[in-house]
Structure 1
């Protein structure tokens, strides 16, 4: 059902965010003041009220959040599309357990809104695959997701 609004993640969304997955994140661009949308996959919900994600600490996402903490994550799950909005901040500038220069960002959720258009449902969720060395990708993904779970 479209346009339901919750103050935190509902159970199917919480479960969806227990593993790496494709989402987009919208921030306010620090230079233009307009919207900026990026795709990320290293995302994890430690509880129903917060989301962690990891990105390169030189990323435009990080610069944007430092300038304006308001963000929205677009999640396709539970046969629908959700906008998860809240305030973000850089929790860790560089995750020590990971060989890349990744920042750990925390979002404090304000609202979870079902934004799927009326009379429809998602029949197939987006899938992606890493295009570099599969073994190296799996090792890095495991390191990053472990760091997010232990944050």
Structure 2
């Protein structure tokens, strides 16, 4: 994307967001008015203009977007770093198939920017491991991702 600005996800980025992966979300803290960054993994591109993500229903992210819906999602993919910004709102709750109560958040994309500094590329994307029971983690991840795809 070479520092271009797009109004929706490019095909390669859309593909990256069809599966669980590490992303960061920046929102405005509802109490302090300052920036807040959180890490997420339950994200899903509904289409080129909408990203859904799931967070605990008590997450501070929910209070933040209720007061100020403008957020940015940061993802490292395709050897670069992207900022995906737009307006977010709670689109529902997780179904009974998910054993924890989650809020489903819908991000309507306004802008996608390649924000990598000039003359560089990412040579290794971030990776993470779940630190609790691997079987339980895989089951929960599958339940949440399936639930996201239904919204």
TM-score by length of 2: 0.97
Structure 1 portions without partners, runs of 5+ = none
Aligned CA-pair RMSD: 0.9
CA distance in 2 between counterparts of 1:142 and 1:43 reads 12
Q: What is the aligned partner in structure 1 of residue 116 from structure 2?
A: 116
> Match of 2:64?
64
Shift of 1:101: 1.2
Task: Supply the distance in 2 between the matched residues of 1:117 and 1:127 (Cα, whole angstroms).
Answer: 21
After superposition, the C-alpha distances for 1:7-28 in whole angstroms (9 at most, x for unaligned) are: 0000110000000000000000
2:94 and 2:147 in contact (8 A); partners too: no
Alignment partner of 1:132 is 2:126: no
CA distance in 2: counterparts of 1:96 and 1:62, whole angstroms:
20
The separation in 2 between residues aligned to 1:20 and 1:96, in whole angstroms, is 20
Is it true that 1:87 corresponds to 2:87 in the alignment?
Answer: yes
1:145 match: secondary structure: helix
- Counterpart for residue 14 of structure 1: 14
Aligned residues between the structures:
151
Shift of 1:94: 4.3
Q: How far apart, in 1, do the equivalents of 2:114 and 2:97 lie?
A: 35
Alpha-carbon distance in 2 for matches of 1:94, 1:148? 8
TM-score where L is the length of structure 1: 0.97
Residue in structure 2 matched with residue 144 of structure 1 by the alignment? 144
- In the alignment, structure 2 segments of 5+ residues that lack a partner are none
